[in-house]
Structure 1
Amino acid sequence: MQPRTPMDIQELARAFMLSRTILTAHELRVFDRIADGHCRAEEIAQATGTDTRAMDRLLNALVGFGLLTKSEDAHFDLTEIARQALVSESPDFVAGLDHTAQLWNRWHYLTESVRLGTAAAPDLNQPRSREWTERFIAAMQANAAPKADELVSMLDLSGVRRVLDLGGGSGAYAAAFARRDERIEPILFDLPDVLDIAAGYLGKAGILHRIRMLAGDMLRDPLGGPYDLIWVSAIVHMFSPEENAKLLQRCAEVLAPGGQLVIHDFIMDETRTQPPAGALFALNMLVNTRRGDSYTEQEIREWMENAGLRYQETKQTRHPTALMIAKKDK
C-alpha cells in the first residue's frame, strides 16, 4: 500500500493490530476449533482455555476482517478463505503462520536493533528448540514448494548429474531437481536436526529415496563434491559479507570444472530500495541475525568472481527474487 493521505499512514501504522489478531487466533487454534464444530464464543473459549468475553471480542474482530461470519443467534462460522487457508488440516493451510508468530517477537526489538546495528532480542544466543526449527522449516516449505519446479525449470541442466542443495531446509528444491531429471542425484546439505525434519516432507512427497542427505555446518564442515551444480537458495541473506565470501569460496572448491553456482535470493539494485520486498526483508535480517542483509547484484558478483567463478547472468523470476548464475572454468 502506497500512502497518499495522513489517514493512510495512520492505517499503515496500526496494521499490526490486524496481524496480531490473526496470529493470536491461530496460536489459540480458533479456526481449527470452529472447523470442529465449536460455534459459540463460550464453546470456543472452553475448548481453548480462554476467557469467554475476551474470546467473543476476538471472534467479532475476525468477522470484521472477513475470516468469520456471525449469525443472529451468535454462532460463528468460517468464511471460505479461512476454511481454505487457516484450518490446519486443509491442503492449502498457510503453514508459515507459526514462524510468523515467532517473527513477531523479534520485530518488537526493531528500534533497538536500528540503534545497535544488529539483532537485539534477548533470546538471540539461546539454543533453538526443536519446536522453533520445525516451525521455521514449515515456513520455508510453504514458501519454496509452490515455486520450486518453476525455478528449477529456468536453469540449463544439460549434463548436470550431481546437484548440491546447500542449506536446503525442507528439501523442496532437491525434490524439484529430482523430478526434473531422473539422472540427477540431488544432495541435500543442512544441519542434522533439519535433515530429520526434511525426511518427513520428502517421505510424504514419495521422493525421499531419490535424495541423498549430508549433515553439517556449511561454513565449517566438508561439503562433499564434486558437483555439477550448487543451488544456494535463501542463504546469503543470513550471513555477513565476509561469511558469504567464505561460503562462495567453499562452493567454488567443490564445483566440478564447468559446474554452475546458482544464488536464489532477493537481489537488490544499487539504491537498495528495489525490490521493495527485499528492502523490507533486510530489516527482517536486522532483527533476526547478527550481520544478515539483502545484497546487491554487484556485491554477490564480487563474491563469485573473488572465488574464481565466472559470472554468467541474472534471471528475474516471477517473484521478487532472482537467480544469479556463475560457472567454474573447465
Structure 2
Amino acid sequence: MNQEELTPEKIFEKARSFMPARIILSAHELGVFEVLREKPRQSSEVAAFLSCDARGMDRLLNALVVLQLLKKNNNMFELTDVARRAFLPESEEFLAGLDHAVQMWETWSTLTDAVRCGGKVGGPPMTERDRAYFERFIKAMHANSAPRADDVIAKLPLANVTFAVDVGGGSGAYAASLARRFPHARVVLFDLPQVIEIAPDFLAKYEGGERVELVAGDMLKDELPGPADLIWLSAIVHMFSPQENEELVARCHNALAPGGKLAIQDFIMDETRTSPPAGAIFALNMLVARDAGDTYTESEVRGWFEKAGFTNVCRIDTIPPNAVIMGTKE
C-alpha cells in the first residue's frame, strides 16, 4: 500500500487485525476444525467435544463464519472448502506452521518490552527448549522450505559437488534437495541434537532423504563436518548477532576444502533496512524471540565473507523475499 493511500481508518483497521488472527489461532489451538471434519455440528456439540464453555464456543464459531472459514445453516456449523484445505493435516495445503504461530503470539506480545530493553524478554535459550517446541518450530520451517528447496538449489552455480553440509538444516528439506541434485555426493545434515531426533520423520518422506547423514552438534561451538565442497546455511544468520555470524562464517571457511563454497540464504536487506518489507518485520520477530538475532544488509553479510577470506563473493537472487550470498575458499 502506498503511503498516500493510507488513511487513519485503515491504520486503525491494521491495529485491530490481531482480532481475526487470534480467532484463527484459538480455533486451531482448541481443535475446532478437526471436530468439524466429518459432519456439521451445533456449537453446543462442538463445545462438549472440546470441553469448552457453550456460549464461548458459539461466539467463536460465529466469528469463524464471518471469516469465511465455517458455514452456518439451521444452527449447524460446517467447514468451508478453504478451511478443509488449510486446517486438515492430510491436505497438501495444510498450514503446518500454525502451531509455531501460536508460540510466536506469545513472544510478539512482549514487543513493547523488547523494544525498551533491546532483546528477548524471558523464556529459555533456543538450545534449552523442549522437544515439543522443536517439533512445532521445525514443522513450520519445513512447510516454508520444502516447496521451494529444489527451485532454490537449482539456481546455485554449482558443479562437481562430492560433499555437501546443510548446517542448521532442520527438517532436511534442503539436504534432501542437494542429495537429489548431486546423486553421488555425500550429504550431511548438521543441527542441534533436539532437531536431529526429529529430522528422520521428515527425511523419510522425500526422495534422496535416505542418503542424508545426520550429525548432531552446536554450530557455534562444535567442529563442523568437513572438508566439504559446499556448506549451505539457510535461515540461520538471522538468529545470531553480527559477532556470532562473523565467527560462524569463519568456522564454515575452516570446514571447507580448497575451492569449496559457502552459500547463505536469508533475508538480505537493502541499506535502508526497509526492503524486502518482510525482512524489516521479521527483524522484530528476532528481537522478541532471540537474545541477539536480526536481519542483515548485503554489505554486512559480504563483510563476514571477506573477513573470513572468501573470494568471488556474489549475490544470487532466488525466491523473494530471500536471496543467497555465496563465496569461494581459495
- Normalised to the residue count of structure 1, the TM-score between the two structures is 0.96
Q: Verify: 1:63 aligned to 2:42, yes or no.
A: no
Cα distance in 1 between the residues matched to 2:320 and 2:276: 10
Query: For residue 42 of structure 2, what is the aligned residue in structure 1?
Result: 40
1:171-182 pair list within 5 angstroms: 171-182=172-183
Question: Is the 8 Å Cα contact of residues 177 and 208 (structure 2) preserved in structure 1?
Answer: no
* Structure 1 residue 124, shift from structure 2 partner: 3.5
Percent of paired sites with the same residue: 51
Cα distance in 2 between the residues matched to 1:15 and 1:178: 42
* Structure 1 residue 19, shift from structure 2 partner: 0.6
* Structure 1 residue 125, shift from structure 2 partner: 4.5
**Structure 2 gap segments, 5+ residues each:** none
Cα distance in 2 between the residues matched to 1:33 and 1:266: 38
Question: Is the 8 Å Cα contact of residues 72 and 78 (structure 2) preserved in structure 1?
Answer: yes
Query: For residue 210 of structure 2, what is the aligned residue in structure 1?
Result: 209
Question: Is the 8 Å Cα contact of residues 191 and 215 (structure 2) preserved in structure 1?
Answer: yes
Root-mean-square deviation over aligned CA pairs: 1.3
Q: Verify: 1:123 aligned to 2:123, yes or no.
A: yes
Query: For residue 164 of structure 1, what is the aligned residue in structure 2?
Result: 165
How many residues in Structure 1 have an aligned counterpart in Structure 2? 327
Question: Is the 8 Å Cα contact of residues 269 and 275 (structure 1) preserved in structure 2?
Answer: yes
Question: Is the 8 Å Cα contact of residues 264 and 322 (structure 1) preserved in structure 2?
Answer: yes
Moved more, 201-210 or 221-230: 201-210
Q: Verify: 1:243 aligned to 2:244, yes or no.
A: yes
* Structure 1 residue 196, shift from structure 2 partner: 1.4
Question: Is the 8 Å Cα contact of residues 41 and 76 (structure 2) preserved in structure 1?
Answer: yes
Cα distance in 1 between the residues matched to 2:42 and 2:218: 50
Q: Verify: 1:23 aligned to 2:2, yes or no.
A: no
Query: For residue 227 of structure 2, what is the aligned residue in structure 1?
Result: 226
Cα distance in 1 between the residues matched to 2:137 and 2:11: 31
Question: Is the 8 Å Cα contact of residues 152 and 319 (structure 2) preserved in structure 1?
Answer: no
Cα distance in 2 between the residues matched to 1:206 and 1:176: 8
Q: Verify: 1:327 aligned to 2:328, yes or no.
A: yes
* Structure 1 residue 321, shift from structure 2 partner: 0.6
Moved more, 161-170 or 317-326: 317-326
Query: For residue 96 of structure 2, what is the aligned residue in structure 1?
Result: 95
Query: For residue 275 of structure 2, what is the aligned residue in structure 1?
Result: 274
Question: Is the 8 Å Cα contact of residues 28 and 48 (structure 1) preserved in structure 2?
Answer: yes
Match for 1:15: what amino acid? S
* Structure 1 residue 38, shift from structure 2 partner: 5.2
Question: Is the 8 Å Cα contact of residues 301 and 311 (structure 1) preserved in structure 2?
Answer: no
Question: Is the 8 Å Cα contact of residues 32 and 88 (structure 1) preserved in structure 2?
Answer: no
* Structure 1 residue 313, shift from structure 2 partner: 1.4
* Structure 1 residue 181, shift from structure 2 partner: 2.4
Secondary structure of 1:204 counterpart: coil
Secondary structure of 1:146 counterpart: coil
* Structure 1 residue 213, shift from structure 2 partner: 1.1
Question: Is the 8 Å Cα contact of residues 174 and 187 (structure 1) preserved in structure 2?
Answer: yes
Distance 1:315 1:256, change over 3 A: same
Secondary structure of 2:148 counterpart: helix
* Structure 1 residue 316, shift from structure 2 partner: 1.7
- Normalised to the residue count of structure 2, the TM-score between the two structures is 0.96
Cα distance in 1 between the residues matched to 2:40 and 2:193: 40
Cα distance in 1 between the residues matched to 2:145 and 2:12: 33
Match for 2:179: what amino acid? A
Question: Is the 8 Å Cα contact of residues 179 and 209 (structure 2) preserved in structure 1?
Answer: no
Secondary structure of 1:253 counterpart: helix
1:108-147 pair list within 5 angstroms: 108-120=109-121, 122-125=122-125, 127-147=128-148
* Structure 1 residue 156, shift from structure 2 partner: 1.9
Cα distance in 2 between the residues matched to 1:206 and 1:294: 32
